[in-house]
Each structure stands twice: as C-alpha cells, then as structure tokens.
Structure 1
Amino acid sequence: MDILSLGEKIKKLRKEKNMTLKELAGDRITAAQISHIERDKSHTSYELLDYLSRKLEVSIDYLLETKEMQSKKITDNLILRSEIYIKSNELDKAEQLINQVLQICKEYKLLDKNGKCNFLLGSINLKRENYALVVNNFEKALYFFIKNNDKENIFKSYLNIGKIYVKEEFYKGAISHFEFAEEVLSESQIEDMDIHKDLYGNMANCYIKLNKSKKSLEYIEKINKIDRQNNMQEEVDMLTLKANNFLNIGKYDDAKECFKKALELLEIEENKAGIVDVYLTISDIYKELGDINKVLEYSHKAYNIKKDDEDEYASKSLYKIIAAYLENKDFESARIYCKMALAFSIKSKNKFNEYKALELFSDIHKAQNENNLAIEYLSKCIKIISDLGDNNTLAKIYIDLGQLYANISKEKELEYYQKGVAIYQTLNII
C-alpha cells in the first residue's frame, strides 16, 4: 500500500525479482543510469519505460502513475474497506483505516475525501452512542460536502444530525435539520424511496412528540403514497448470499468494484431494517393518537418485511401486533401471534424474548379474567429471568403476581409483593 515515486517503484520491483542493476540495464542502458532513475535523479523516455515495464513485468500505466494518482486510488479503497468494517461492526478497524486516509489526504491535499472521512467517523461514533462526537463529525462533513455541492451526502448529514437530536429528545432542533434535509432532497436527484421514507418517518415522529398531530399525519401520508407507488419485494436471501460472497473475496487493495458491490448489498439489508424502524415508529405515533387499527396496519407491514429473518425486528413487530390485538380485545388473534413470538424465541434461543412471549400470554388470560392461567404463565417467567440475573424484571414479575393473587389468596398476594419490594430495595429503587 506504499505510495511510491517512479524510481522507488522500479527499485522495489527489481529487488522483488532479485535482479541486479546490471541485469535490469541489460544491453539497453548502463547500471549507473538505472541507479539514477531509481533515485529519481533523471527522467526516462517512453521507449525506456516500455523496456523497463517488459523487464519488470508490469504495465507502463503502473510506472507512470504519480503519487497523487496512487493516493487517490489507495484512499478510495481504504474508504470502501472502512465502510464494510462499519457495516460489520468492526469499528476499531474502520477508525484505524479512516485515520490512515486522513493522513494521506493531508499529505497529498486530497480535500474532497475529508467530508467522507468525517461522515464515516460520525457513523462510527453513532454506533458507539458517542452523540457529542457524532454531531461534531457530521457538521465537519457538512462543511466539505457543501463546498463540493455533494447533495446526497449533504442530505445524509442533515438527516443523521436530526436523528441524534431525536435521541436526545431535542425535537425542535431535529425538525430544523430534517427540514434542511427535505429541502436538499427536493433539489436533488435521489431516487431511493427508502431514503425518502426514512426522512418522513422521522419527521412524523418529531411532530407527534411536539403535539402537532396534523403535521405528523401529513408525513405519514407521504410514506403511504410512496408505498402505493413502489410495491416491490426485495429478494432478501439472495442479496444476503451475494453480500457474503463479496465479503469473502478479501482482495481489498485491487478490487474497488468488488467493494462497491459488497457495500451496496450490505446497504440494501440495512435499508430494509431502516424501513422497519420507520413502520414501527409510525405504529407508535398512531398508538399515541389512539388509532389501534393503524397501529396494527403498520406493525403488520414491519413484520411482513422481517418475518423470514426471524430476528429482533420480527420479534419487536410481533409484540406490537399482540399488544394492539389485546387493546382491541381480539384475544384469539393475540394468542395466534403470541404463539409465533414464542416459537421465534425458542428457535433463536433468546431467553428474554421467550419471557416476553410468556408474559404476553399471561396478559391475554388476565384480560379475559382467567387469573389462574395468567399466574401459570407468569410463574414460568420467574425461572427464565432468575437465570438471566435480571433482578429489576424479576421484581416486576413478583409485583404482577401479587396483583393477580389479589382476589385468589391474600397470603400469596402478600408473599409476592414482599419479594418484589425486597428486590427493589436492594436495587435502591425504593
């Protein structure tokens, strides 16, 4: 990965082939002339370069590449490698590569790469939840993107800063940056509708937090309009398989196009999760508005995207569906989806999700005044949570059991209340 002058390249190649100066010179020139060339003390003709390239078994283009040209190619590939590391959550490796790029950029004055590097550092700090640094990184990136009129990355920077402000519950600041992002989006040629939905979902969420329901629903309608226009189902399994194949190639330094394809495939999967997040956010908005049918609609949309993956997003969607059916008193539907959630958790060996599914079964029976069955399911939760060592949740289960025993056994009611309170006291909660 060294950035070499013409002379340094020739010397390196000669050494790799165990050739002496005289052997490389042959009958064409003298060993002294080769020595001068290797020390960049003399210029070479095209004919001599042709001779040297054949002797060293490389292309003339390789020999002619300047340090600046090499630095651009190397930084391009390092950036792509770092992006793959970020997607794979190997954040320290990604940060190390980006710092290498920044050093090369400084040495060879490649200012156009500074924006991308700062953006990637922001992405790393976002995954690390270091939000103060994230905003600083994205604001630095914005400076360079605006300077280069890079609309797509200007949009992404505003969007990401807005998302940080949402996490910090600074909704007015978030809306301000989302509006900047929306303005850039309207001026650009960004056609990826998932990007539009991500922005509109975040804006809808902020407006509902600011008690501006009408504005929130306007952006939900924009998402609905996109869904009506773009109803294509991604072949997730095939894309994931292709992504893994690209990542397994491993020829990072000389495979820029391979990096790009691998990255695109990884981003497709990431966008899928992003859209699920949007649908689940909309579901929460409608829950606050009291529209349970809409909660079900968007929770089902989220679940339909991720159901084949059987991951945390699928589970999260199922829990929202079950809670909505419970609120609508559709106990049969709630029970069906609860069975699915329990099957997912057992298959994935996720004990906490198994607990949540059992707790929902208990809630279903409790809502139907079947307290003995509710107690039975909640009692199964005790061992799971005890094994996980989650004392806070264990205390909650004991309190819930105390409430269920209220009209069954005063002795049991008091026993479980005391157990729950004792744990809360050890946790300094009460």
Structure 2
Amino acid sequence: MEILSIGEKIKRARIYKGYTLKDICCDKISISKMSCIENGKIDPEGWVIDLVAKKLEADANYLKKDIKQQLEENYNEIFSKPIKAEHEEILKYNLEYAEEYKYYTIAFNIMHLLFNYYLDIKDINSCQVNTSKYYNLCVKSGEENNTLIYYLDIGRYLYMGNEYFQAASYYNNVRKELLLKNSNNYKMIADSIYKEAECYLLLNNYERAYEIVVKLMEYIKYLSEEEYSSEIYNLIAILCVKVGNDKYDDYEKRSLELCKDNMTRKAGFLYSYGAAMIGTKLEEKAYGYICKAVDLYPEKDKFNYVNFIIEVIETLISINKMGMAQELSEKILNYAIDLKNDIFIEKAYYFKAVTMENNGQFQMKEMYMNLSLDILMKLGTKNQLYKRYLDMGNLYSTVHNTAEALKYFSLAINLSKKL
C-alpha cells in the first residue's frame, strides 16, 4: 500500500530500467520538464504519461493514479474488511499522506476507522491522544455529516470511559440535528436514540431512558437488519423491567426470537435481563437468567468470552454469588494468560482476590491483589488506581496491619488531588 506521486513512480521505473531522463524524453518532452514532473513540481498531461509508459513498458493506468486516487483505493480496500491489528500502521501511514496533501475528507474517514478500531480493542489512551486531531479533521473536512459521525464516535468514547451523561449529550445532539433536518437516515437516528437511552439506563435514570427508547418504535419498521431490531427490543425489555412495565415478556420474546441461532447474542440478552432484574420485583429470577447465559455463551472466541464473563463476575459479586464468581475467575485467568492480555489478567487476579474474602484466605487474597495492582500501575487510569489503593487500604485495615493500611490510604489521598 505504498503511496507514490506520479513523478515518483515515473522516476522509480526509469531508474529500475537504467534509463536517463534524456532516454525517456526523446525529442517530444524537454528534460527540464520531465525533471519537474519527477520532482512533483508540475503535473504531467495524459499524453506525456502514455508516452513515458510506453517507453518504460509500464502500466499507464498505474502511473496516472495520483495521491488522492491511491488514498481512496487504500481506504476502500481496508473499509471493506474488519479492521485488525495489522491495519493500524497502514491506516496511520495513509492518514499522514492525506493530511500532508490536505485531502481532509479522506483523512477524516481514515481517522474514523482508526478511532473505532481503538474503541473496539478498548484502547482508551490512543483514543484520547487522537481526539484533538479527529476534531480538527472534522472541521477541516467541512462536511455536516462528518460532524454527526464525529459526535457518535466521541459519544462512544465517553461511554467507554463511563462518562455517560456527557455521552448522552453528544447522542442527543445527533438526534436533534437529524430530526431538525427531517433526515431519512433512519439508521443514524435510531443509533443516536438507542445510545442516548442506554446512557440514561447506566445513570439509573430509568424513566428518562424509557421515555427516550420508546421513540425507537417509530423507526424500527425502516430498519432491515433483524439483529439491530433485536438489540432495540432487548433495550426496551430491560427498561420495562426497571420501570415495572408489564410489557417485558413480550419484548423479551421478540428480542430472543430475532437472535435465531446467534448464541452469543442470545446469551448476552439473557444476561442483561438477569442483571436488570437485580433490585426489582423480578429479582428471584435474576440468578437463573445469568446461569443460563453463561452456559449458552460460546467459548470458541476466547477474547469475547472473557470480556463477557468479566461483566458476569462483577454482577455475581454484587449479589454475593461468590462460589460461581470464583470458579469463573479461575477459568478466565487461564484464558487471559493464553491470550496474553494484561487487562484481562489484571481483572482475573482482582476477582480471585475478592472472591476469597469470605474464605479467610488472607495470604492468597493479598497475593492476588498485589499481582493485580502491579499490572494496574502500568495500564490503569488514575481513577482506577485511586479505587484500588482504597481496596488495598481496606484489606490491610481488616487484618489490623496499620502500617500497610496507612500507606495505601495515603497513596489514595495523594492521587485524589490529581483527579
């Protein structure tokens, strides 16, 4: 995917053939003009490229592709496939050229792919580093639709950082802008409504979330993707549980039917229903839903499986189901080590420590807490470290190790001043 100007391609082909400028100019092009073409000072006419291509026995169509065309082709090639780790440097390389040659719309599109790749792999630090550049490219591209795409991406970034209120504001801006223009981009409208409602769900403002999400019913008939419709019904069902609406059973049934043979999606939905039932009149059903979800979730995709089980374990700990939480913690630790994923390993160590609390295994709990903290000190945010220092302080306070308790409480206090 190397990007070369027309002049650079001509020069490389000429040198490869062992020709001088005079050899390829004949008597039809001046040597000075050809030198300027090779050095990018002037653009060659079509007939010049055809003549040079013939002389160099090169593909004229290849030579005629300028930087912009190459960038567009590279973008389309990457866009057509799932973005993976090996694409990161390719995207950065193309982004650099797009910025240098002021093709800001192309640069924005590349940044959109790169930004979402970082979100997909939960690399929040890389998102943070690129946020300013992403905004500048959005402005320089001068396209209104790019602003909405940028808002959706920043909303997702804030959502992943647990900044739900701010994320909801970005999604709300997209929704209002599209409705103001009577847009027929129903997918984007539905996305913004869905994600805004989801933010309020996580803020425990269930009434507000339900008020927003029911607006989706106006657009669901325009959506062709059954999987997306199932997600909408899933969210409505969750909110029915939270607000005590008796339509829950109907929406649960619709969501699971639309999953068809997708066991990953079905397991995710069942878990979400179980988690939603905690603290409601349906709480006695919650553990059954969660267990069924764990049994159903496919383990072949270890990365997504571990990611799912981490969320399950957090819920199990919250309802004091420590036996199952400990068993799953051991399982995902082995998977996390196989994946060589330090973020997962840290979580597994921490969960193992927490689930040992009721067993009186202080030394083992201390060991796993320290293993977890070692990784968190390298990868964690200040807020995560602050909470973990408090955990460590409470751990040592419980066993009356005053010196160690004071050490970690002091670290937490000092770090809190930087938050």
Please report the TM-score for the alignment, with normalisation by the length of structure 2.
Answer: 0.59
Residue 115 (structure 2) aligns with = 122
- Deviation string 1:174-207 (CA, Å, 9 cap, x unpaired) is 3332222123322557645333222112222334
- Deviation string 1:209-228 (CA, Å, 9 cap, x unpaired) is 5565554223211112222x
From 76, 89, 105, give the equivalent of 2:84.
89
Amino acid at match of 1:342: D
- Deviation string 1:147-194 (CA, Å, 9 cap, x unpaired) is 544233211211222233334443442333222212332255764533
Residue 365 (structure 1) aligns with = none
- Deviation string 1:395-430 (CA, Å, 9 cap, x unpaired) is 88788xxxxxxxxxxxxxxxxx54577765664655
Secondary structure of the 1:39 match is: helix
Is residue 268 of structure 2 the alignment partner of residue 316 of structure 1? yes
Q: Which has the higher contact order (CA 8 A, sep 6+)?
A: 1
Is residue 218 of structure 2 the alignment partner of residue 225 of structure 1? yes
**d(CA) in 2 for partners of 1:317 and 1:210?**
20
State which drifts further: 121-130 or 192-201: 121-130
Question: If you compute each CA radius of gyration, which structure gives the higher value, 1 or 2?
Answer: 1
Is residue 335 of structure 2 the alignment partner of residue 342 of structure 1? no
Residue 68 (structure 2) aligns with = 72
Retained in 1: the 8 A contact 2:118–2:126?
yes
Q: 1:17 to 1:322 in 2, by over 3 A?
A: same
Q: 1:180 to 1:351 in 2, by over 3 A?
A: closer
Amino acid at match of 2:97: I
Question: CA shift at 1:70, angstroms?
Answer: 1.0
1:5-404 matches, cutoff 5 A: 5-6=6-7, 9-14=9-14, 29=26, 38-40=34-36, 50-57=50-57, 65=64, 70-83=66-79, 87-90=82-85, 93-94=87-88, 96-131=89-124, 134=127, 137-138=130-131, 140-187=133-180, 191-208=184-201, 213-227=206-220, 229-230=221-222, 232=224, 272=227, 279-291=233-245, 293-294=247-248, 296-311=249-264, 313-321=265-273, 328=282, 342=295, 344-345=297-298, 386=330
- Deviation string 1:314-357 (CA, Å, 9 cap, x unpaired) is 322123456789965997x9979966863555787969989999
Secondary structure of the 1:129 match is: coil
**d(CA) in 2 for partners of 1:198 and 1:318?**
22
State which drifts further: 150-159 or 51-60: 51-60
**d(CA) in 1 for partners of 2:197 and 2:127?**
23
Secondary structure of the 2:219 match is: helix
Retained in 2: the 8 A contact 1:152–1:188?
no
Q: Percent identity?
A: 17
**d(CA) in 2 for partners of 1:385 and 1:169?**
23
1:400-419 matches, cutoff 5 A: 418=359
Q: 1:166 to 1:97 in 2, by over 3 A?
A: same
Gaps of 5+ in 1: 235-271, 361-373, 400-416
**d(CA) in 2 for partners of 1:302 and 1:173?**
28
Question: CA shift at 1:129, angstroms?
Answer: 3.4
**d(CA) in 2 for partners of 1:381 and 1:392?**
12
